[in-house]
Structure 1
Amino acid sequence: MNNSVGLKFTISLAIIVALGPAAIDMYLASMPNMAKDLNTSYASTQITLTVFLIFMGLGQLFFGPWSDAIGRKKPLLIGLITYIGASIWAALASNLESLIFARAVQGIGASMAIVVVMSMVRDLTEGAAAAQLYALLNTIVALGPIVAPAIGGVIGAHYGWRGVMFALGGLGIVVLVNTVCTLKESLAVKDRIKLNISSITKIYLNILKNKIFTFNLLALSAVYFFLFAYIGGSAFVYQTNYGLSTEQFGLVFGLTSISLVLGASSSAFFVKKMSIIRLAMIGALVMLVGSVTCIVMHIFNIGLIGTVFGIALGLFGLGILEATLMAIAMESQKVALGSSAALLGAVPMLLSSTATPIAGQLVEVDTLYWLTLLGAIGPLIMLLVFIGARNANQ
């Protein structure tokens, strides 16, 4: 196993993984206008985000083992083509129902791409090297929430949410061409497993019996819940409560997300200076402080600046945690890495998919309810990371 991979290969993996976040972040600023265009409520438009997350999660549960059986590249190409077609479908949707179905298919396409990339990392690296690569990928991908909302805000302001969906399709085409030209198969034939329903169930059960994997999986799920609860409520709070325009929202959302990049890049640096487990504990503590800060700032009526500061702190901790939790969980597995990556991708997505409709409902009642939800997740993350660390040290 080669513990170092080239920059070109890393960037190719990163832009593939970025398709999922792009499909989430680019149209956030357009959601209030989408609700008006489709004659529905803001909370109803959250369903388009929820189904994307659900199917991006469910798809990974199947495509992870499938990639363990037939290799990585074929499922990756199929996923990219599916993503492109679904993006065009979404852009042409005439009603909310059609858009929901298109987003479900788009999520399936993204699921194939993401689970393959996460598997490729462990095909080629392990240990601290894998943690560094995960962190580097997350750093590059974390640029998405900075760039995507701003770009999406501009596109949405001039061409509406349909223009955003066409742009996602165009991005998918660029990634597909790069993948065909750049990436090679990373799973040797001798390392592939036989695929059948009974073996898939057995593999998943064996993976979940590992306490280190399971508690880090639950912690990662809580981390994602925080992220999507923030995403699900931010457009409404920033635009309705604080009076930001579509383009201003994209800018503020993007600037706040810089802390996510800083957290991920810090993780890549500090993993060489301390143990992965200790770094995960630090990330959890920062998220806890950030989530509580959100509530305190709102109670003392600090306003937009206070809310953004607390969120930024939480996202910094999230940037540290995402890579470290993935690395710790994947390091606990030696075989069926595609299935392990599938669980790490699917379970957090499925559990956190409930965050967006909950957040959408809460912000329409009161901003404090939304912030309280974010604040309650911090202690839960800290507890799960602590239990996972204790099992890893035993």
Structure 2
Amino acid sequence: MSPHLLRAALTLGLLSAVGPFAIDMYLPAMPAIAEGLATTPQAVQTTVISYFLAFGLAQMIFGPWADQAGRKRPIYAGLGIFLVGSVICATAPTAGWLIFGRAVQGLGGAAVMVVPRAVIRDLATGHDATKMMAAIMVVISVSPFLAPLAGAGMIAIADWRAVFWALAAVTLISLLLTRYALDETLPTEQRVPFDLAHMKDGIRTLTRDRTFMMLTLLGGFGFASFFVFIATASFVYTEAYGLSPTAFSLAFALNAAGFMAASQFAAGLGQKFGAKRVIITATAGFAAFAVGLFLIALAGITALPVVMGGLFLANAFLGLVIPTAMVLALDEHGPIAGLASSLGGMIQMLAGALMAAVAAPFQNGTVTPMLGAIAACAVLAFGFSRLIPRPQATPVQA
């Protein structure tokens, strides 16, 4: 990767990490939030779902806007909204206000997820784009290591509200990063009018593209397994295994390590074997480990090392799937990359919110319902991977 692309990837990764930090940093605080606001674990889990719902829907605004106004202006707006949401969360007097504040955060956080994908498509395609996406994944993947530990540290010296004040500070830094380190990558002459007619035409094109839809759906349910884990793991690990906030943070980081490490091999394997083949094979591996772990749990084997080891291996396969699928889905849609990124992101986030909401009533403080929901996500992802159109063979000339 050229130095220019590497610099852009690192900048985009830091911006894209704002959303994951907003999730990961407050995970260790979820039991403390339930106690502090005198509410139930289910109500605190709703703050996760409200974030994902708003995050998903808002992408349909920021993506087309980025195609019309350039890439930087929507990022400024999104970060400003995210800052307001962080202040609402930090001062929330009730669970209802916290749910609302998280939704506002989700509205703003969508910008720094969808627009960087479009920037990648502006700068590169194919192998180079996959390498950029993998580099961004490295930066984002620091979040599961540092954010929960930072959140646990803040709880130890202050209270859960300090987490949201810290997120507000991170947002201010991100605004400066956008101003001074991110170049505008969409020339004026390549911008697309932002109106309903163009948006409708673009959505029609994308939804009729079977490859785009299957890649988006399998990525969506792959991400949904993360959302289920995020919404439930802090309660499961503290109640079923008695982990402290710091110990939970370390366990959470280990589960993410497999994804981070594997994502760095995605570009090389895609170049050697073909992106679609990598996606199909890796999705099968993800499903095999997720379903196998669930069956082991049903048999009564739920020791923490077994659970963590199984999730590590499942997430390693998922790390090969996500960056490759995200790049491949946009490859053929450069003129509407912002809209394509928005639609894909919205579908993925709504899939995540749906699975988290469906799984919530079955949570009973043990690990088995969580593993069952993750296995269901993996099976759905595998099913969509089998529906990706295969490349047509090139006719042999006589």
1:127 is aligned to 2:149: no
Partner of 2:190: 191
Displacement of 1:356 in angstroms is: 2.7
Partner of 2:73: 74
Q: Residue type matched to 1:65 in 2?
A: P
Displacement of 1:124 in angstroms is: 0.8
Q: Residue type matched to 1:64 in 2?
A: G
Partner of 1:311: 311
Q: Residue type matched to 1:359 in 2?
A: A
Q: Residue type matched to 2:121 in 1?
A: R
Alignment of structure 1 residues 155-304 onto 2, 5 Å: 155-298=154-297, 299-304=299-304
Q: TM-score, normalised by structure 2?
A: 0.94
Displacement of 1:380 in angstroms is: 2.0
Unaligned runs of 5+ in 2: 394-398
Partner of 1:11: 10
1:371 is aligned to 2:378: no
Q: TM-score, normalised by structure 1?
A: 0.95
Question: CA distance change for structure 1 residues 114 and 302 in 2, over 3 Å: closer, same or farther?
Answer: closer
1:333-379: CA deviations, max 9, x gaps? 23211000111211100121123333333222653222222222222
Are the equivalent residues in 1 in contact too, given 2:267–2:324 (CA < 8 A)? no
How far apart, in 2, do the equivalents of 1:14 and 1:25 lie?
16
Are the equivalent residues in 2 in contact too, given 1:138–1:319 (CA < 8 A)? no
Partner of 2:396: none
Displacement of 1:8 in angstroms is: 2.4
How far apart, in 1, do the equivalents of 2:331 and 2:2 lie?
14
Question: CA distance change for structure 1 residues 79 and 139 in 2, over 3 Å: closer, same or farther?
Answer: same
Partner of 2:351: 351
Q: Residue type matched to 2:176 in 1?
A: V
How far apart, in 2, do the equivalents of 1:159 and 1:364 lie?
29
Displacement of 1:302 in angstroms is: 4.5
Displacement of 1:246 in angstroms is: 1.1
1:39 is aligned to 2:29: no
Q: Specify the SS of the correspondent of 1:195.
A: coil
Displacement of 1:49 in angstroms is: 0.9
Partner of 2:152: 153
How far apart, in 1, do the equivalents of 2:392 and 2:242 lie?
49
Are the equivalent residues in 2 in contact too, given 1:56–1:108 (CA < 8 A)? yes
How far apart, in 2, do the equivalents of 1:165 and 1:393 lie?
51
Identity %: 27
Are the equivalent residues in 2 in contact too, given 1:286–1:316 (CA < 8 A)? no
1:165-184: CA deviations, max 9, x gaps? 11111111111111111111
Q: Specify the SS of the correspondent of 1:292.
A: helix
Q: Residue type matched to 1:23 in 2?
A: A
Displacement of 1:186 in angstroms is: 0.6
Question: CA distance change for structure 1 residues 287 and 393 in 2, over 3 Å: closer, same or farther?
Answer: farther
How far apart, in 2, do the equivalents of 1:201 and 1:28 lie?
38
Alignment of structure 1 residues 64-143 onto 2, 5 Å: 64-143=63-142
Q: Specify the SS of the correspondent of 1:233.
A: helix
Q: Residue type matched to 2:183 in 1?
A: K
